Amino acid sequence: MVLPAAERIAVVGAGSWGTALALVLARKGYPVELVGHTPERVAEMRQSRRNSRYLPDFSLPENIFPGADPAVVAGCQAVVMVVPSHGFRAVFRQLIPHLSPATAIISAAKGIENDTLLTMTQVMAQELSQDPAGSLLPGPEACPGNTGSTAAPAVNHPLGVLAGPSFAREVAEGLPTAVTVAAALAEESRFFQELFFTERFRVYAGTDLIGQELGGALKNIIAIAAGISDGLGYGTNSRAALITRGLAEITRLGVKMGAKPLTFSGLAGLGDLVLTCTGELSRNRGVGLKLGQGMTLAEILDEMQMVAEGIKTTASAWDLAQKMKVEMPILEQVYQVIYQDKPCREAVRDLLAREGRDELE
20 marked as part of a ligand binding site: no
The model's pLDDT over 256-315, given as tens digits with 9 standing for 90+, comes to 999 999 999 999 999 999 999 999 999 999 999 999 999 999 999 988 876 678 899 999
For the chain, give every domain's residue range.
9-109+158-207, 218-352
List, as one string, the DSSP characters of 263-307.
Answer: GGGSIIIIIHHHHHHH-TT-HHHHHHHHHHTT--HHHHHHH-SS-
Higher pLDDT, 1 or 248: 248
Split at pLDDT 50, 70, 90, the class of 359 is confident
14 annotated among ligand-binding-site residues: yes
Is pTM beyond 0.85 here? yes
Domain 218-352: homologous superfamily in CATH:
N-(1-d-carboxylethyl)-l-norvaline Dehydrogenase; domain 2 (1.10.1040.10)
Would you say 205 and 189 are in contact if contact means Cβ atoms under 8 Å apart?
yes
Active site residue 28: no
CATH class of 9-109+158-207: alpha beta
Segment 214-267, tens digit of pLDDT: 999 999 999 999 999 999 999 999 999 999 999 999 999 999 999 999 999 999
- Angstrom distance (rounded) from CA 312 to CA 290: 17
Out of 114-128, 304-318, 325-339, least confident range: 304-318
Per cent of the chain over pLDDT 90 is 83
Residue 320 has pLDDT above 90, yes or no: yes
pLDDT category of residue 199 using cuts at 50, 70 and 90: very high
To the question of whether residue 318 is assigned a binding role by annotation, the answer is no
Residue type, 316: S
Query: Degrees (nearest 5) of the Cα angle 196, 286, 300?
Result: 120
Averaged pLDDT for residues 159-185: 97
Please, what is the average pLDDT of the chain? 90
Do the domains 9-109+158-207 and 218-352 sit in the same CATH topology, yes or no?
no
215: closest CA among 170, 260, 159, 178?
A: 260
107 is in an annotated binding site: no
pLDDT at position 154 over 60:
no
> Of 28, 219, 290, 312, which is the active-site residue?
219
Q: How confident is the model at residue 176 (pLDDT cuts 50, 70, 90)?
A: very high
How confident is the model at residue 6, as a pLDDT?
Answer: 54
